Chains A and B, each alone.
Chain A
């Protein structure tokens, strides 16, 4: 599980080929790893380092900068319950307690069946809809403790599968860029003219 499976390895090579420098594919590959396993495994980071020609330390250094990459096993559903001002005033702690009670874990933990990871989060920029939470970064507004229980029940029963994909999924349909539409692996240092994305007809481009 830890390294890229065959399909994802092919995707990884396709992603790398989109960039002039392999190193640029580092973050997309971290997403791909998280999509595969729900979190970024140590083995995946080593493999990414090999694929893009950097050291594993550079991979973990880059990845750990970003909150949304996770480096520990994470449930199929990551529930972030906002605990910042507006939500806190409107009962966020009740939501958290309801979730903890229903799931049988504390905030920060993951259920034994690997279905749920529960987190208390900082402001999710939905203060007008407080209290709010996110499941795999999909909002649920004006939640109540009963609503949390219902939500968890629905998730567990698979009734929300169409709406909420497993943690790590960026998009259900992966975008493939045909080779003829890509910029291609042009060495930026070797380009004489204007940047490739500026049509040469633009007056004064590159001057």
Chain B
């Protein structure tokens, strides 16, 4: 799809009497689409392999033996081919197929969610016979059955186009739905008691050409003709998928994926697709709040702003700018981050970090940067990152596609394995605390070296393990770069606009200014005012105890927050309600550095304001003019700094010093802890979405079955996991993908919180005992 025409052999064919240049190897329907001749279709989807299931795209094709009806989605173009998409024979064939498809399809369009945007409805009008000769009773099935918590299936409406099942198998790699039975009884079905719980199930709803698959969060919420649409960008994670935001009566009702060649190919993960519910959640903050003896009480913006300005002014007077710190910014737009960085610059505040000690040192952005497309076309992708399927799901899809197609070989280093392990060329179980050494040893292998020498190498680097330090990952990246100096790096940082915020200046300036040192200083009483920009240290900082002490120790906490997160409600002295995505315009930057727009679609909740506005006003109150009065001013400033729309924006950020990490020998404790994120965790947008919140798997600890045997526990038993500082109780489950001596705990699942075990050391060792 993304090749440029010059590089591809072309084939000349004739479509409806007109010469058309087609790309060699493509199907007739793809060539006619680009030539502007529409052929009706149901099963064909440009991002999936053709199957010829629905027969609706029959057209007359003449390859020299006279015109014959052939499915245009299954016939590759050939020189001199003559295609007629409008001949009487073609028309009769297409009408016939539609009549057959409608023989069993119920005419319940008035009560069907798809009505108004339904390819079957539309094409029945445009290419159908108008009337049916079938008078027989139609097929009946039990009305919608849940095939997952998010997707319902109306089998009566299904036309068996194989789009959803093909998507599940080919694209998502979760073949949890399949055709069962045969002939007239054929239907799409899951295995009994095994729901379609794919991270990508929502895409099947979007590509279903009829109303057979519907999404629970959107069912019966609106009619398509009532929806207003605006193209935007998903900021749930840093992949930055293009979306279309659909709203009605000033409420966001759904997100649909928009096909972007460079990024998401039209797909969205379920978390990004369905977390629109959090925009209108009850936990949204409507008014500024001030902490008084009675707790947080509502106030107005002018009081809140003047109090905030006073706090800043007195902090500056008493202890200078180093007593002010800003955490967060990654949940906002580039404009938000720029304004806060500009405010900090004006005040001389250098202590700022868009990450919460849960990412990588900012130097990771200083390496030669790769794009997603680079990674998907590289000969080798070295995965040093998180489980992409859980953290950056669409990047997972793109890399999975590249690996399945055989273009790219994946060399994975992971202590636990990931969703890409089964597609990896090599998956190396990396001992936590010795990643760099393992990487160096593996790369010294002749076969691996030959593979790395065979073409471009892209390193995907992110923080898989919150229980060991990010320096471990940096050291591993540097180990790969020592072996392959031409390799480029795709930073797999997680938060929506974390790269944009770091680029725009919400980044620690030199050592001692990053989130961890800010938190340590706060805990020790050296921070007068701590700003939280959509940041929730109590929920996100891996070292829970440090976060608690920091929020207690900071003299004043000012939180700019959309949802009233834990840190805000527990610790903030001033709470400023912030506009969230879909309530503000601007630009966002994805992990590649690609800049795209976010759209203001619905009215802000209450009196909430975008972050940038708060920064500009606060600056004015403190006697600084940032020189911008509108969003456009800031976007203009960013553009002059290179942040043009659609372009890659990468200000030079110094690569950190070479990191050497001593491998850490196992301590007296028995097991090394790995804590990593899964798709559905306690994140604000997930936990405030009614449909997604129940999908968190719940707390648990996974360990090797032989280790469980040694402890004398079986699946479901509760164990106590103890580190130097404290212990938590978790149910145990077996996972033979783990090395012995390694235990894995998912992050943010409620219950026993693994963050109580993490104290910011290079690694976290724990002991485990049975609760008798």
Seen from chain A, the residues whose Cβ lies within 8 Å of a Cβ on chain B are: 42, 45-46, 54-61, 64-67
List residues of chain A with CB within 8 A of the CB of B192. 42, 60
Beta-carbon contact of B177 and A57 below 8 Å: yes
- Which stretch (B179-187, B343-351, B749-757) binds chain A? B179-187
Seen from chain B, the residues whose Cβ lies within 8 Å of a Cβ on chain A are: 169, 174-182, 189-192, 194
* Contact A64/B181 with A57-B190, A57-B191 known, Cβ cut-off 8 Å: yes
List residues of chain B with CB within 8 A of the CB of A61. 178-180, 189
A157 CA to B525 CA, complexed, in Å: 92
List residues of chain A with CB within 8 A of the CB of B179. 61, 65
A59 CA to B175 CA, complexed, in Å: 10
List residues of chain B with CB within 8 A of the CB of A56. 191, 194
Beta-carbon contact of A57 and B194 below 8 Å: yes
A57 CA to B178 CA, complexed, in Å: 6
Beta-carbon contact of B182 and A65 below 8 Å: yes
A30 to chain B, nearest CB (A): 13
- Chosen A-B contacts, 12 in total, with CB atoms closer than 8 Å, are A45-B191, A46-B191, A55-B175, A55-B178, A55-B191, A57-B178, A57-B190, A59-B191, A60-B178, A60-B189, A60-B191, A65-B182
- Interface residue SS majority, chain A: helix
A57 CA to B194 CA, complexed, in Å: 8
List residues of chain B with CB within 8 A of the CB of A54. 175
A149 CA to B403 CA, complexed, in Å: 62
List residues of chain B with CB within 8 A of the CB of A57. 175-178, 189-191, 194
A61 CA to B194 CA, complexed, in Å: 13
A16 to chain B, nearest CB (A): 18
Among all A-B residue pairs, the 8 with the closest Cβ atoms: A61-B178, A56-B191, A57-B178, A64-B180, A57-B191, A55-B175, A65-B182, A61-B180
B146 to chain A, nearest CB (A): 15
List residues of chain B with CB within 8 A of the CB of A46. 191
* Closest chain B residue to A55, Cβ basis: B175
A61 CA to B169 CA, complexed, in Å: 13
List residues of chain A with CB within 8 A of the CB of B169. 58
A61 CA to B185 CA, complexed, in Å: 12
B655 to chain A, nearest CB (A): 40
* Contact A65/B181 with A57-B189, A57-B190, A57-B194 known, Cβ cut-off 8 Å: yes
Beta-carbon contact of A60 and B175 below 8 Å: no
List residues of chain A with CB within 8 A of the CB of B176. 55, 57
Beta-carbon contact of A58 and B181 below 8 Å: no
A13 CA to B128 CA, complexed, in Å: 52
B340 to chain A, nearest CB (A): 47
Q: Given A57-B191, A66-B182, 9 other A-B contacts at CB below 8 A?
A: A55-B176, A55-B191, A57-B175, A57-B177, A58-B169, A61-B179, A61-B189, A64-B180, A67-B182
List residues of chain B with CB within 8 A of the CB of A65. 179-182
B404 to chain A, nearest CB (A): 13
Beta-carbon contact of B182 and A64 below 8 Å: yes
List residues of chain B with CB within 8 A of the CB of A55. 174-176, 178, 191, 194
B113 to chain A, nearest CB (A): 25
B74 to chain A, nearest CB (A): 22
A58 CA to B189 CA, complexed, in Å: 10
A14 CA to B178 CA, complexed, in Å: 27
A56 to chain B, nearest CB (A): 4
A186 to chain B, nearest CB (A): 18
A57 CA to B175 CA, complexed, in Å: 7
B592 to chain A, nearest CB (A): 32
Beta-carbon contact of A58 and B180 below 8 Å: no
Beta-carbon contact of A58 and B182 below 8 Å: no
* Closest chain B residue to A45, Cβ basis: B191
* Closest chain A residue to B196, Cβ basis: A57
